[in-house]
Amino acid sequence: MTVILEIRNVCYSYGDGTEALKDVSISLEEGKKIALVGPNGAGKSTLLLMFNGILRPSAGEVIFRGQPLRYDSSSLREIRRKVGMVFQNSDDQLFAPTVYQDVAFGPVNLGYPKEEMKKHVGYALEYVGLSGYERRLPHHLSGGEKKRVAISGILAMESEVMILDEPTSNLDPASSEEIMDMLDELNCGGKTMIISTHDVDLAYRWADEVVLMEDGRVLRLGTGPDVFGDASLIKRARLKLPIVVDLFNELVSRDLLNGSRPPRNILGLTDLLESRNRGTISRGTLGTIHICDVDGADPESISGILDKSHVSYSGAMGTNAKMVAKRSGIPLDFTYGVIDKCILKALTGKSSLIMTSGRMMDHAMRRIQTYCKESGAEIEVIEFALPLGSHTVRYDLARQETIVLKEPG
C-alpha cells in the first residue's frame, strides 16, 4: 500500500508551555480508515491539525505523498485542498450567510471558474443529502445537518484525505450512525479517512487502523483487535475496552469461549458462541441477501423487488439509498451495520434487501464473500442493477470465487 501521510519525530508545544506532541512518528496508508484514539489531552486534535498545516511542528516534519509540508501561503493552500479538515464543533467552521456560500468558499478561494464551482457545490450538497438547502442559514440547521454542510465543503474541493475531529460529538445516535455510514461510503469511493475519537466502540468496529495515543505519544498503531486486545495498554491510556472485546474476555475467563483474539463485531462473537455450544456452526436453511443498486431506480422498481423477493428485512447503505427508500415509502429495519445485520438474519433463515449504490455494491459483496470464506456459510446473494435486471451469485468456498448462477434477463 502507498503511504499518503507520514509524521516523523514531531514535537509540538503550545504557547503556555504545554507539550502536546512528544516525538511522534507514524505512517498512514492511502485508502484506509484510520482512528486516533485516546483520552482528553492525549494529543489527538493537535496531531490532526498537523496533517494539513494548520499547526507547524516545533520539531520534526510532516510528509504528504513523499514531500515535506512547506508553510508558505501557496503551499498551505494546496495541502488544505488535498487534505480537508472538519472540526469538532461545526459552528467553528460555518460562517457564511447561506449554506451555498459556505460550501462554495473553498472552490472560490481555489479559483474555480463559476460554472465548475457551481457543479462541485451542487454535487457535494447532493452527496450529503442537502440538495434544496442552498439558501438556508447554517446556524438554523440541526447538529447533524451542520456536520453534513462541513463535510460537503471538503467534498467540493475534491480532497484526497478527509480529517474529522470527533465526528459524532454532540450528535444523537441516529445522526452519528448516518455520519459514519457516509464516511464509509466516501472511503469506498477512494478517499482516505482519518478521525479522532474517544469512543472506543466506534473506533473498534469502524477503523482499519487504530492509533492509540496517551500524553502526547503514540502507544501503538495497528488493527482494532491488535490494539484493543492488549488490555494493559488500554488501561494505561485510561480507556475502556470495546463492549465486544470486554464481553469476549469475560466469556473466555469463564471457559465459555476459547481463543486469544477477540472478534471484530457481534457477528464474529455470535459465530464463536454457536461453534462452542454446538461443536460446529449450525447451517440449516439459510436466507438470501438481495443487493439493489438504487442509482436511477424508480420507486415502483424497488417495490417490485420487495414483492418478488419476499424479504423479511430491508436496509440502506449510503445517503442516496436512504433518500430513495424514504421517497419510495420503504420502511428500513437497518440503517447502520447493514451488511453484518443482513448476514446475521441470513444465518437464521431470513432473507433481506440491501439498498445501496456505486462502489458500496462491491463493498457489500466483498464483505459477504469474506464472511462466507472464513465461516463456511454459503449465503446466496442476488444482485439487482435496475432497470437492467438481476443475476444470482454464490461464493464458492472450494474454488474461492464468485459463481454466476443466472445471467441478467
Q: Which helix (DSSP H) or strand (DSSP E) does residue 34 occupy?
A: strand 33-37
The per-residue pLDDT for 31 is 95
Cell matching residue 385: 442493477
For residue 348, pLDDT beyond 70: yes
For residue 347, pLDDT beyond 70: yes
Span 91-106, pLDDT tens digits: 888 889 999 999 999 8
pTM above 0.85, yes or no: yes
What's the pLDDT band for 407 if we cut at 50, 70, 90? very low
What's the pLDDT band for 409 if we cut at 50, 70, 90? very low
Residue 120 or residue 305, greater confidence? 120
Span 371-406, pLDDT tens digits: 888 888 888 888 876 554 444 455 454 455 555 545
- Read off the pLDDT of each residue in 238-253 and give the average, rounded to a whole number: 93
Residues 6 or more apart in contact with residue 171 via CB below 8 angstroms: 143, 144, 147, 179
What's the pLDDT band for 284 if we cut at 50, 70, 90? low
- Read off the pLDDT of each residue in 272-278 and give the average, rounded to a whole number: 75
- Read off the pLDDT of each residue in 170-177 and give the average, rounded to a whole number: 85
107 burial via Cβ count (<10 Å: 0-12, 13-18, 19+) = buried
Q: Closest by alpha carbon to 175, among 336, 316, 400?
A: 336
For residue 275, pLDDT beyond 80: no
Sheet with 389-396: list strands edge to edge.
Answer: 313-316, 352-356, 289-293, 380-385, 389-396, 401-406
Q: Is the Cβ–Cβ distance between 368 and 289 less than 8 Å?
A: yes
DSSP 3-state assignment of 383? strand
Span 14-48, pLDDT tens digits: 988 889 999 999 999 999 999 999 999 999 999 99
Q: State the Cα–Cα distance between residues 309 and 87, nearest whole angstrom.
A: 43
The per-residue pLDDT for 24 is 97
Q: State the Cα–Cα distance between residues 48 and 62, nearest whole angstrom.
A: 11
CA separation (Å) from 75 to 27, 68, 70, 106, 265?
21, 11, 6, 15, 42
Q: Is the Cβ–Cβ distance between 405 and 391 less than 8 Å?
A: yes
Please report the domains of the chain, with CATH numbers, ordered by start residue: 3-236 (3.40.50.300), 243-278 (no CATH), 289-406 (3.40.1010)
Cell matching residue 353: 434487501
The per-residue pLDDT for 97 is 92
Q: Closest by alpha carbon to 349, among 292, 396, 288?
A: 288
Residues 353, 356, 357, 362, Cα dihedral to 10°: -70
Q: State the Cα–Cα distance between residues 45 and 68, nearest whole angstrom.
A: 20
